[in-house]
A = this chain, B = another copy of it.
């Protein structure tokens, strides 16, 4: 199947790697809203085109993978391109999923295409695990922990503070909280009890570090509700030790059947958040193409996709070797 990628940031690069690693997928082109001449991609021989070229390439692309941001890009981009292509996105603003779904459903349904929204690991694989667990054990509770991993949103928030040159923020689950959940205690956990935040900050020369630390720790929504540690390091240290984008976390579901208790735990430990997310998008693109070929259309999420559609293996191979 022929794949297009729109947007070439960290996620677009992750999708590119995943598509190239998939034997049944071929990368047709990367599309950008910037000047294509200024964008060099990793895959030799594949074109970089202006997003405008998408008006006219329906015959050349089976699925278009949208690698924009959730805040402003995808709410506009996904319905727009779902009217022309099968599309897959990673929209992750949980509260706005219903309206995004409705907009994509209208566009894709009219065009006879499929638009799969909110793919990745959360929303995505974590959502699947919450639904599987709660469907099997209706008496129970789901806990989601994130990290240890880099939150790009929190890192950006620190960088906007005066006197900060660079920063990396790690979200870290509190080990005691994870253990209590695993033991089946079903605890009520506050925000502070679930996660801590570790900040590695490069201050500009002469900046007031005490003020920076205070501003970070008191920042509402981002840090005020957490136990936050701030460590000042040099730019060289940040470059050497904190350049990666690792992430992960776990969904732990504790439920019961009568007097019996059961714990279901799904855990991800990812060296690269954008590369893993890109790999999920590539697998979902395979499913979107197959489902559309069978006549399905409209908006979908990973909850609507039978797992077999994601696999390059045939149904017979899956039953014989994976079941």
Q: Report A's interface with B, CB cutoff 8 A.
A: 14, 17-18, 21-23, 94, 97-98, 101, 118, 123, 125, 127-132, 134-139, 257-272, 275-276, 278-280, 283, 286, 301-308, 310-312, 315-316, 318-320, 322-323
Contacts and interface: CB of A to CB of B under 8 A. Distances in A.
A320 B270 contact: no
B21 A257 contact: yes
Contact of A101 (B21, B139, B319): B319
A258 B270 CA distance: 13
A279 B261 CA distance: 12
A322 B23 CA distance: 32
Contacts of A262: 268-272, 275-276
A260 B283 contact: no
Nearest to A262: B270
Nearest to A258: B17
A268 to B, nearest CB: 6
A55 to B, nearest CB: 30
8 contacts: A94-B323, A127-B322, A131-B307, A134-B311, A136-B279, A257-B276, A260-B271, A263-B267
Given A136-B283, A323-B97, A304 B308 contact: yes
Given A131-B308, A136-B276, A265-B265, 10 more contacts: A94-B323, A127-B322, A135-B286, A135-B311, A136-B279, A258-B275, A260-B272, A260-B275, A262-B269, A267-B267
Contacts of A138: 21-23, 312
B97 A127 contact: no
A276 B263 CA distance: 10
This protein's copies in its complex: 2
Q: With a 10 A CB-CB cut-off, give which of A269, A276, A303 has the most chain B CB atoms.
A: A303
Contacts of A316: 98
A268 B263 contact: yes
Nearest to A118: B323
Q: With a 10 A CB-CB cut-off, give which of A135, A139, A276, A319 has the most chain B CB atoms.
A: A135
A267 B265 contact: yes
Given A21-B257, A276-B257, A307-B128, A283 B323 contact: no
A98 B320 contact: yes
A134 B322 contact: yes
Nearest to A267: B265
A120 B123 CA distance: 25
A318 B130 CA distance: 10
A301 B275 contact: no
A318 B137 CA distance: 15
Given A131-B308, A310-B131, A320-B97, A136 B280 contact: yes
Sorted nearest first, the 9 A-B pairs with minimum C-beta distance are: A260-B271, A260-B272, A135-B310, A257-B275, A263-B269, A303-B308, A135-B311, A265-B267, A127-B323
